[in-house]
Structure 1
């Protein structure tokens, strides 16, 4: 059924749930895992894109911004690589054949392209549950992958909202159903 499972992960909290789900599935079908992290400035914990506002007034500061940003980006890249290594080692410890790769790029496009080139049968990806304006502004990597992947996609939800749960926000109360 599934022989090659691509695990698209990021550095957010849901990343470990995505890997755990993929490892559990891979054990059951004796599949090979490839853990992929795409280095993208849009990622939740990344240093983002350096700001150059006001640099036309202070052009001599541009070098300082570039040096500081490069240092932050290098730290982010190293932390993500270590996270990939540790999660891969956990999969191997569970008896699953696993490897990892980290690639810079646009997350959704890179995941779909890598899955196709690697010959993945399944992509396992997290879904943070953004909706409305947040999803419109930030985009949804999982939504992009669902619509553009050349193979099946399994999404792991970040949280489950119970039916008829009462939610309070800044003195206002709403009920979800």
Structure 2
């Protein structure tokens, strides 16, 4: 069965669901978990500041760069706090666990860590993009499925219909 499971997570509800599924599987199989959080501007909640055109305003540009650096450090710290919390939960139920937080392209980073750590399985979430949305937006899970050095288990995200979701987006998720 699986002995080394790489768990790619973020700070979303979906990330919690992925962790919960991985923890259950690790308990059932006595597998070792490696939690991975990829620091990326693609992640929801990551600092994203546009600096286009700021070369005309050097004093403002300096302030914005400093603010962005501060936000990035806070983003890194939130990621480490999440990883530590999950590691404590796993250790409390007797699951061998370690974690890492890397910067980079999420799909490539997940595959690289899986390769170097010699993972038997990658567990990760997927947002549920399909068709044109997946083509235009790209898909980390799709990249990993096609480039991973081991088996991949994707956990479907939780779908919420909120005020920013259009009917077309809902139709894509339902289909």
| TM-score scaled by length of structure 1 | 0.87
* Structure 2 counterpart of 1:157: 156
In structure 2, do the counterparts of structure 1 residues 133 and 46 end up closer, same or farther at CA, with 3 Å as the change threshold?
farther
Question: 1:54-65 residue pairs with structure 2 within 5 A?
Answer: 54-65=53-64
Question: Matches of 2:110 and 2:149 in 1, distance apart?
Answer: 10
Question: 1:15-26 residue pairs with structure 2 within 5 A?
Answer: 15-26=15-26
Structure 1 residue 160 displacement after superposition: 6.8
Question: Matches of 1:22 and 1:47 in 2, distance apart?
Answer: 28
Structure 1 residue 33 displacement after superposition: 0.3
Question: Matches of 1:64 and 1:122 in 2, distance apart?
Answer: 44
- Tell me the secondary structure at the aligned position of residue 124 of structure 2: strand
Structure 1 residue 133 displacement after superposition: 4.4
- Tell me the secondary structure at the aligned position of residue 56 of structure 1: helix
CA RMSD, Structure 1 to Structure 2 (Å): 2.3
Question: Matches of 1:11 and 1:134 in 2, distance apart?
Answer: 22
More helix by share: 2
More strand by share: 1
The structure that has the greater radius of gyration is 1
Question: 1:16-95 residue pairs with structure 2 within 5 A?
Answer: 16-48=16-48, 50-95=49-94
* Structure 2 counterpart of 1:2: 2
Structure 2, unaligned stretches of length 5 or more? 161-165
Structure 1 residue 13 displacement after superposition: 1.2
Question: Matches of 2:9 and 2:142 in 1, distance apart?
Answer: 14
- Tell me the secondary structure at the aligned position of residue 96 of structure 1: coil
* Structure 1 counterpart of 2:113: 114
Question: Matches of 1:131 and 1:65 in 2, distance apart?
Answer: 36
Structure 1, unaligned stretches of length 5 or more? 162-167
- Tell me the secondary structure at the aligned position of residue 113 of structure 2: helix
